[in-house]
Amino acid sequence: MEVRRRLTKPSAAAAADEPFKSHKQRHIHDSSPKASDALPLPLYLTNVLFFALFFSVMYFLLVRWREKIRNSTPLHVVTLSELAALVLLVASAIYLLGFFGIGFVQSFIYRANQDVWEVEDGSHVEQYILEEDRRLGPCASVRPPPVRKNVPVVPQHPAEGATALPEKPAEIFSPAASGDDEEIIKSIVEGKIPSYALENKLGDCKRAAAIRREALQRITGKSLAGLPLEGFNYESILGQCCEMPVGYVQIPVGIAGPLLLDGREYSVPMATTEGCLVASTNRGCKAIYASGGAASMVLRDGMTRAPVVRFGTSKRAAELKFFVEDPSNFDTLAAVFNKSSRFARLQSIQCAIAGKNLYMRFTCSTGDAMGMNMVSKGVQNVIDFLQTEYPDMDVLGITGNYCSDKKPAAVNWIEGRGKSVVCEAIIKEEVVKKVLKTNVASLVELNVLKNLTGSAMAGALGGFNAHASNIVSAVYIATGQDPAQNVESSHCITMMEPVNDGKDLHISVTMPSIEVGTIGGGTQLASQSACLNLLGVKGASMESPGSNARLLATVVAGAVLAGELSLMSAISAGQLVSSHMKYNRSSKDITKLSS
Ligand code: ADP
């Protein structure tokens, strides 16, 4: 705690009040001398004196006033004693107002402006207002950060740091916290500063994360040792990837491959904590490689967004449906839609009606971006355009779940969303035996009974596979995709059929909704960007916009193919439990276990 100069020692009562004063009050109180500091008596005695004076003089004047009314004496005729009483009344009122009134008024002003707070920078105090600063944008562009004093250094690893909860969290969690940072941490803990505003206020994202983290530890009494703070670029996530960071979670990235796909080799990065997953996918890649590789086709490429609008009658809703689905209106609507981005190109609008509510599913290509922002902007353009022609149209939401984003829905399974990809390979008989340790007939039979019949019995929606979501999620996390979209991106039907007189295995995965991008969102972060680079699909394709994202979608499908092949073989050979015991339970050398 910073020690500040005082003219006199504070009274016990004032000291007891100290923690309960606002940040602002404390600044004012701590840093500047006040008239009360020079009082000859202790503060509470002076206050009692002035209170007593105020009320006794007030009583005296009221008594005198009543007598004057009874005697019909004019009120403005005052005696010397009344004049003195008036002077004393005004003086004591000024004292009491000055002492209690300002604090009282300040407490209201402060409460009304929770977002206004101060950062002391050397000799001056700057007042920042949240909303204005927000518009200033990222940390770097806000304003020069205040002179930084020691940021609390929190132990990063359990071995190096605290293992048991401290009795006094503040002392254990941040032994080095002091100065400005300590002041800010305390203000957050006391609820006087909103934690979300730190980045914009301080102009230093790393420092903001450190302060927020320390405040969180003190508020919860829980240690974050083990959740690293150092080694991450917090500037890179501001306004795009994550709010209110306090650190980052480490997920190991394993490599499956080489995956031989369409004549090219890919090392597939998979971020996962599920033992066996990378090893299993790697085995599938090995089987595909040994059989001459896999081939893929992108069947469709279009991101969707479906707003919901309401009319007074179903007839009016149907009129708009016919209007937007009329091919002669398409060019006009496409021109309006495409203004949103040079990469957004409207492909179709498919409508569904529920009573007087209309759902318009817009599909558009989005270049190398996954495209949710892009398609939403285009849809907004068209909605604004339609509103002039259909003023009775009530726009209830830019998204009405007929899109359908991050929820299991038949519309994606049937119509597709993002990239629709089919990927296939013919696995040779000897590879099935030597690498996969099973046989073609068993695999085909298991696929029918598990992935087709079993899933049908379960009422599956797009879940006609063994574990597509395992591979999709791991590749999505490694490459900066939106992991929540694994819901529909994992829709997959795995087919296995005997070919070449029943000797070899034809395996395919058909995935209608792979939602990936190589630009935007989390793809620009350093780690995720490195994984995209490894696959040769980092960023936007200059030659052919969209080709990087499509290529990534085929790699996802190829990796799923490998994963399906390996897991189905393990189940068919009765190895599933034994291999999981080996990989999930042991920390021993796993390199010997995969082939
Ligand atoms: P998303 O729609 O996936 O959320 P954004 O629209 O936020 O992604 O990010 C895409 C941004 O990248 C847009 O501003 C777009 O203009 C730009 N961009 C540059 N090159 C490309 C490209 N080849 N494909 C798609 N977007 C691109």
Answer yes or no: is the C-beta of 545 below 6 A from any ligand 1 atom: yes
Q: What confidence tens digit (pLDDT) does each residue in 195-252 have?
A: 999 999 999 999 999 999 999 999 999 999 999 999 999 999 999 999 999 999 999 9
Nearest CA to ligand 1 atom 11: 520
Of the candidates 168, 163, 215, the residue with the CA atom closest to the CA atom of residue 187:
215
Mean pLDDT (whole number) for 441-452: 98
Answer yes or no: is the C-beta of 369 below 6 A from any ligand 1 atom: yes
The region, left, alpha or beta by phi > 0 then psi within -120 to 50, assigned to residue 359 is: beta
Answer yes or no: is the C-beta of 344 below 6 A from any ligand 1 atom: no
Nearest CA to ligand 1 atom 20: 540
**Cβ–Cβ < 8 Å for 348, 365:** no
Cα of 519 vs centre of ligand 1, distance in Å, is 6
- 195's CB contacts (< 8 A; 6+ apart) are 188, 212, 215, 216, 244
Active site residues: 274, 406, 482, 580
Cα of 541 vs centre of ligand 1, distance in Å, is 11
Mean pLDDT (whole number) for 250-269: 98
Answer yes or no: is the C-beta of 371 below 6 A from any ligand 1 atom: yes
Q: What confidence tens digit (pLDDT) does each residue in 272-316 have?
A: 999 999 999 999 999 999 999 999 999 999 999 999 999 999 999
> Which atom number of ligand 1 is nearest to the Cα of residue 341?
16
Mean pLDDT (whole number) for 504-515: 98
Q: Does residue 33 carry a pLDDT above 50?
A: no
d(CA 406, CA 484): 6
Answer yes or no: is the C-beta of 548 below 6 A from any ligand 1 atom: no
Residue 568 phi/psi, 5° resolution? -60, -40
Cα of 368 vs centre of ligand 1, distance in Å, is 7
Structure-model confidence comparison of residues 22 and 381, the more confident one: 381
Q: Does residue 101 carry a pLDDT above 70?
A: no
d(CA 390, CA 457): 46
Identify the pLDDT of residue 42.
63
Q: Does residue 407 carry a pLDDT above 90?
A: yes
The neighbour count for residue 46, using CB atoms within 10 Å, is 15
What is the residue-wise DSSP string for 82-131? Answer: HHHHHHHHHHHHHHHIIIIIHHHHHHHHHHHTTTEEEEEETTEEEEEEHH
Identify the pLDDT of residue 124.
30
Cα of 257 vs centre of ligand 1, distance in Å, is 29
Mutating to test ligand 1, I would choose from 519, 525, 542, 544 the residue with most ligand atoms within 8 A of its C-beta, which is: 519
**Cβ–Cβ < 8 Å for 252, 551:** no
Q: What confidence tens digit (pLDDT) does each residue in 139-193 have?
A: 433 333 333 444 444 333 333 333 333 333 333 344 445 468 999 999 999 999 9
Answer yes or no: is the C-beta of 537 below 6 A from any ligand 1 atom: no
d(CA 209, CA 216): 10
Answer yes or no: is the C-beta of 370 below 6 A from any ligand 1 atom: yes
pTM assigned to the model: 0.72
Sort 223 into a burial class: Cβ within 10 Å, 0-12 / 13-18 / 19+.
buried
Q: Which amino acid is at 123?
A: S
